Amino acid sequence: MAGCSRREFNLLLCGVAVELAACGSSLPTVAPVGNTLTLGYAQFPALASPGGAAVVGVKDSFPIVVVRTGDTTAVALSATCTHAGCTVGYDAPRDRIHCDCHDANFDLAGNVLGGPTTIPLPVYSATPGVDAVVVDLS
């Protein structure tokens, strides 16, 4: 950065790091039991019916995005964009996963639809139940 001292640069960098940490902490976080994450409908009511979605922080790990695709079906994908590490979300009108940072798009199977990335999102098994969606993170 031209015209910026080392001290100013470090202060700017620390400010960005604090801001990023604060952004990441706004996600509801759930602790897995082993490799299983249980997302109860009481905490995530959007997942109780088809078309609903939630972006969830996984304690001591990466965030995931879960989409209820039908009465008995759901998908779970990494919510970390494979381009620059931003958090993605579900774009319901277009039925896709979208990253606002650089306009990357993925289908619900994690495949790249467009944007600057060429790397698909990791996908995890998700099963809706009576009172929760259960995600297998292995």
* Of 132, 129, 105, residue with least CA distance to 116: 105
**CA gap 79, 97 in Å, rounded:** 9
Of 9-13, 52-56, 103-107, 117-121, the one with minimum mean pLDDT is 9-13
| Residue 67 phi, psi dihedral angles, 5° rounding | -125, 125
Mean per-residue pLDDT, 98-126: 97
**pLDDT tops 80 at residue 117:** yes
Taking the chain, what is the end-to-end CA distance rounded to the nearest angstrom? 42
Residue 49: partners with Cβ closer than 8 Å, 6 or more residues away? 68
Q: CA nearest 29: which of 69, 67, 61, 53?
A: 61
- How far apart CA 114 and CA 97 sit, in angstroms, is 11
* 115 in Cβ contact with 123 (< 8 Å): no
Please give the model's pTM, rounded to 2 decimal places: 0.82
Which two three-digit tokens encode residue 28?
């509801």
The answer to whether the CB of 122 falls within 8 A of the CB of 113 is no
Q: Is pLDDT of 11 > 90?
A: no
3-state secondary structure of 99: strand
Mean pLDDT within 55-75: 97
